[in-house]
Amino acid sequence: DIVMTQSPDSLAVSLGERATINCKSSQSVLYSFDNKNYLAWFQQKPGQPPKVLIYWASTRKSGVPDRFSGSGSGTDFTLTISSLQAEDVAVYYCQQYYNSPWTFGQGTKVEIK
């Protein structure tokens, strides 16, 4: 199974500042056939289901604010919130869909400093 490890487990960022979450997979999730990284980022607010922000490691879902961006390839990925807003307080998960079983990172809790 591919193990997804996020860092940090939590972070507190001032409003308007940058937040960076890292995600490392135990093996590459880059599929050579189509040159795509099978990696998604989700945001989960309390009492709500997760919501996809980024897929294929760097493609922003329609309607997601452009302060959210994803980068990385192979085994190392980053979710960046360029200017943290109050509504961004949530837990963020990375997840690989390269092979079965699909696996999630443990989550990173983002709070306001």
Q: Count CB neighbours of 107 within 10 A.
A: 17
For the CB of residue 107, give the shortest distance to another protein in the complex, in Å.
5
When the beta carbons of 74 and 107 are compared against another protein, the nearer one is 107
Distance CA 105, CA 74 (A): 16
Please select the residue that binds another protein; options are 16, 66, 86, 101, rule is CB under 8 A.
Answer: 101
Q: How large is the greatest C-alpha to C-alpha distance in the chain, in angstroms?
A: 43
Distance CA 66, CA 11 (A): 21
According to DSSP, the β-strands at 10-13 and 108-112 are parallel
When the beta carbons of 56 and 74 are compared against another protein, the nearer one is 56
Distance CA 68, CA 63 (A): 11
Does residue 37 interact with another protein by CB under 8 A?
no
Does residue 23 interact with another protein by CB under 8 A?
no
Query: Amino acid identity, residue 2?
Result: I
Does residue 92 interact with another protein by CB under 8 A?
no
Does residue 63 interact with another protein by CB under 8 A?
no
Sites of contact with another protein (CB under 8 A) = 38, 40, 42, 44, 49-52, 55-56, 61, 93, 95, 97, 100-107
